[in-house]
Amino acid sequence: MKATILTVLGALVLLGPAADAHHSHPDFLVDQDATVEGIIAGIQFQDPHVLITVRAADATLYTVEWQAAHWLKYHPELVTPVNGPVNIDTLKVGDPIVVVGCPPRDPTRHELVKLKAVRRLVDDWLWTCRRPDARIWC
C-alpha cells in the first residue's frame, strides 16, 4: 500500500510541472492585450487548442491560439448575444473578425495567445472569457 501511494505521489510531482508548463507562455506578454482585426484565412477546430489564422488589412498573417475545441463546446455561457456553444461551424474562412489576446515579447512574431475576446463583425457575435455574469473565466 505504501509503495502505491509513493508511486502516485512521485508521478504527481513529476507530471505537475509539465501540465503547468503547457499553459505557460514566458515568450508572451500575458499582462498586456493586443487586438488584431482581419479576415479568417484558416481555422483548425481541434484540441488541445483551436488555431485561427487571421489576415490583417496589410496582408500580415497572424496565428491565434484559442481554447481547446471541447472546452469551447461546453461553455456556451461565454457567447453573446445568444448563448450557444462554439463548434466547428461557428466561424468560417472569410469571416471578418476581431481578436483580443496576449502579444509576443518579440514584435516580429505575429501571434496571439490567451484570447480574451473573439468578435465576428458581420453579426456582432461575441465570445469572451471575461464576462462578469459568467462563473467561468479562462
The predicted pLDDT at position 8 comes to: 38
Q: Which of 14, 108, 92 is nearest to 53 (CA)?
A: 92
Is residue 7 one of the residues assigned to a domain?
no
The predicted pLDDT at position 83 comes to: 83
Is residue 46 one of the residues assigned to a domain?
yes
Euclidean distance between CA atoms 13 and 67, whole angstroms: 26
Q: What is the CATH number of the domain that holds 82?
A: 2.40.50.140
The predicted pLDDT at position 135 comes to: 56
Q: Over 50: is that where the pLDDT of 7 sits?
A: no
SS3 (DSSP) at 44: strand
| DSSP class of 103 | P
Contacts of 78 (CB under 8 A, 6+ apart): 127, 128, 129, 131, 134, 136, 138
Sign of the Cα pseudo-torsion (30, 76, 72, 57, in order): negative
Give 82's pLDDT tier (boundaries 50, 70, 90).
confident
- Say what percent of the chain tops pLDDT 70: 76
Is residue 77 one of the residues assigned to a domain?
yes
Residue 58's domain comprises 26-128
Cell (9 digits) for 118: 473573439
Is residue 75 one of the residues assigned to a domain?
yes
Is residue 111 one of the residues assigned to a domain?
yes
Give 21's pLDDT tier (boundaries 50, 70, 90).
very low
Q: Over 60: is that where the pLDDT of 62 sits?
A: yes
Q: Is 112 exposed, middle or buried (0-12, 13-18, 19+ CB in 10 A)?
A: buried
Q: Over 60: is that where the pLDDT of 1 sits?
A: no
Q: Over 50: is that where the pLDDT of 5 sits?
A: no
